[in-house]
Homo-oligomer: A and B are copies of this chain.
Amino acid sequence: MTTDTERRSWRQNPDAVKQDILTVALSEFAANGLSGTRIDTIASRTRTSKRMIYYYFGDKLGLYTRALEAAYHKVREGEAALNLGHLPPKEALARVVSFTFDHHRKNPDFIRMVMIENIHNAEHLAASQVIHDMNVTAIDKLAQICRRGQEEGVFREGLDPVALHWQISAVSFFNVSNRPTFSAIFGDALFDEEGQQRVRQQMVDAILAMVTRPEAAR
């Protein structure tokens, strides 16, 4: 004799379940932060149950860490799309800068995850080996451009690729991360399509002007 309660049958699909959870988790964590996110909310947005979150990810922090890694992974994939061929150094650099700017704009969830990580002093990121390994390529690309630019005599000596990356990231990141407060205070003229074109160009100009040899300035 069986129980009275109707039991549902289901089809097992571990990978899809994991992926489903991760996708929802990323969007929830990005939207609400670590302590602002509710596991129950994530669960309700998935096709599965809270039970499975704990089954696959252990606890909230485990899930968060995996979501963070997923965010980095997704963004790095997009970056691989950038191919500089053998453009002249100045064009190549301009291309990198523009690309970074646009790429950040297109990935607000990634930006938000990084913001949240910074609030938490990057402790989960530091714990993730996965992420650490993923991030050197950006620097390599810049280093190559710098070297070529210097060999051809159009760039200044003593450029530091990391410092250059820092500056490019700063503006591209801030443009997304601080849009809410900035536009709340100064209006959103900089954030419509035309405004974004302008600030993007302004950044390209600034970076190029900075790396270019004074004598070689057009």
Interface residues of A in 146-167 (CB under 8 A from B): 160, 162-163, 165-167
- Cβ contacts A44-81/B at 8 Å (1 or 0 each): 00000000000000000000000000000000000000
Contact of A163 among B116, B118, B125, B199 (CB under 8 A): B199
- Cβ contacts A205-218/B at 8 Å (1 or 0 each): 11101100010011
Q: Measured between C-beta atoms, what is the minimum distance from A129 to chain B in Å?
A: 12
Complex CA distance for A80 and B6, rounded to whole angstroms: 71
Q: Measured between C-beta atoms, what is the minimum distance from A164 to chain B in Å?
A: 8
Contact B122 A119 (CB under 8 A): no
Contact B190 A114 (CB under 8 A): no
Contact A181 B214 (CB under 8 A): no
- The verdict on A87 contacting chain B, using a C-beta distance below 8 Å, is no
Contact B117 A115 (CB under 8 A): no
Complex CA distance for A186 and B72, rounded to whole angstroms: 15
Complex CA distance for A131 and B181, rounded to whole angstroms: 11
Q: Measured between C-beta atoms, what is the minimum distance from A202 to chain B in Å?
A: 6
Q: Give every chain B residue within 8 A of A115 (Cβ-Cβ).
A: 115, 118-119, 177
- The verdict on A139 contacting chain B, using a C-beta distance below 8 Å, is yes
Contact A114 B33 (CB under 8 A): no
Contact B165 A186 (CB under 8 A): yes
- The verdict on A14 contacting chain B, using a C-beta distance below 8 Å, is no
- The verdict on A203 contacting chain B, using a C-beta distance below 8 Å, is yes
Q: Give every chain B residue within 8 A of A187 (Cβ-Cβ).
A: 162
Most chain B beta carbons < 10 A, residue from A32, A179, A186, A199: A186
A→B interface (CB under 8 Å): 32-36, 112, 114-122, 125-126, 131-132, 135, 139, 160, 162-163, 165-167, 169-171, 173-175, 177-187, 189-190, 198-199, 202-203, 205-207, 209-210, 214, 217-218
Which A-B residue pairs are the 4 nearest by beta carbons?
A209-B209, A122-B180, A170-B174, A206-B210
Q: Can you list 12 residue pairs at the A/B interface with Cβ under 8 Å? A: A34-B36, A36-B36, A122-B183, A125-B184, A135-B186, A163-B190, A166-B190, A167-B171, A170-B178, A173-B174, A205-B210, A214-B218
